[in-house]
């Protein structure tokens, strides 16, 4: 039986659904698959040390999450075109001693949005967060046809850097920096920061900025019903939780690690079983 050793690198990753998602799908495909959590807070080592230790220990690949999606870049041997364009990596494949970085977040988010909020208006969209996940979401939104994207991050330098990259790829008029006040005229809001996770409770925007014409998508999936989504529902917004993105990016990572074709629909059912009834709320 073909076997794989995979890990997840990041902080606060104890509640992650990734091990179960990957291992259950591997069982369905007849693969021996072990998925380990490599929490930087627990290991107390920088990401470069964890990357090298995983390589030496014979890992076949790693998923990478907050806060290492951009920090890992300089320690890889090669980047896929998508990862290079996004400036962020969420998947590392070890091949013949080389560490190759990929990004499956952008396609995962795009497929989740299309599936969960079909037909939403995207003339004007606000993105909160310009880190690794935010960069992937930004590229996905503009690739899907968003007319104008306003990017806000507490780190102004980071948001400006992302907007520069977006303008180079999609055109000068497609992206700009701005603040949450841009929500007054926006069609949609995508939240791509850790706020709302168990370790980072709260909502990234005041509820009074939300309005019924606005759709709201959150990439956080633990919990599925974040404070932001609860406030958006109460204000009459269409909402999308982060479950679809985590599953669909995981499916593509699984393909990169194994070369096997996972069943995304089956993985979504796995996620529903893991999360219970709350996973069905969209």
- Write out the catalytic residue numbers: 69
Alpha-carbon gap, residue 84 to 101, rounded angstroms: 9
> To which residue do tokens 């977006």 refer?
166
Indicate the pairing of strand 78-79 with strand 61-64. unpaired
CA distances from 193 to 147, 223, 253, 280 (A): 22, 14, 21, 23
Fill in the DSSP letter of residue 211. -
Coil, strand or helix: which one is 137? helix
Which residues partner with 221 through β-bridges? Answer: none
Residues 215, 238 contacting (CB under 8 angstroms): yes
Alpha-carbon gap, residue 249 to 138, rounded angstroms: 15
Indicate the pairing of strand 3-10 with strand 61-64. parallel
Alpha-carbon gap, residue 73 to 12, rounded angstroms: 20
260: Cβ contacts below 8 Å, ≥ 6 apart: 29, 31, 254
Alpha-carbon gap, residue 159 to 71, rounded angstroms: 16
Angle at 193 between CA 192 and CA 196, to 5 degrees: 110
Coil, strand or helix: which one is 217? strand
* Closest residue by Cα to residue 9 from 89, 107, 112: 89
């Amino acid at each position: 039986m073909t076997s794989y050793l995979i890990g997840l690198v990041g902080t606060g990753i104890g509640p992650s659904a990734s091990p179960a998602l990957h291992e259950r799908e591997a069982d369905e495909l007849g693969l021996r698959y072990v998925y380990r959590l490599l929490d930087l807070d627990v290991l107390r080592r920088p990401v470069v040390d964890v990357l090298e230790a995983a390589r030496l220990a014979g890992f076949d690949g790693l998923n990478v999450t907050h806060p290492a999606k951009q920090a890992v870049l300089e320690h890889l041997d090669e980047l896929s075109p998508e990862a290079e364009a996004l400036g962020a990596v969420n998947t590392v494949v070890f091949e013949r001693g080389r560490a190759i970085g990929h990004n499956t977040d952008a396609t995962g988010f795009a497929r989740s949005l299309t599936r969960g909020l079909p037909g939403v208006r995207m003339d004007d969209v606000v993105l909160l967060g310009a880190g690794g996940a935010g960069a992937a979401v930004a590229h996905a939104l503009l690739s899907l046809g968003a007319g104008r994207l306003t990017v806000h991050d507490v780190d102004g330098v980071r948001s400006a850097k992302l907007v520069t990259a977006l303008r180079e790829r999609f055109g000068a008029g497609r992206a700009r920096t701005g603040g949450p006040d841009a929500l007054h005229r926006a069609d949609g809001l995508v939240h791509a920061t850790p706020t709302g996770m168990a370790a980072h409770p709260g909502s990234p925007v005041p509820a009074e900025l939300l309005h019924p014409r606005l759709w709201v998508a959150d990439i956080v999936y633990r919990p599925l019903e974040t404070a932001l989504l609860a406030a958006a529902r109460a204000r009459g917004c269409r909402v999308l939780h982060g479950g679809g993105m985590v599953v669909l990016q995981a499916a593509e990572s699984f393909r990169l690690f194994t070369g096997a074709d996972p069943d995304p629909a089956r993985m979504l059912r796995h996620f529903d079983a893991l999360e219970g009834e709350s996973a069905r709320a969209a």
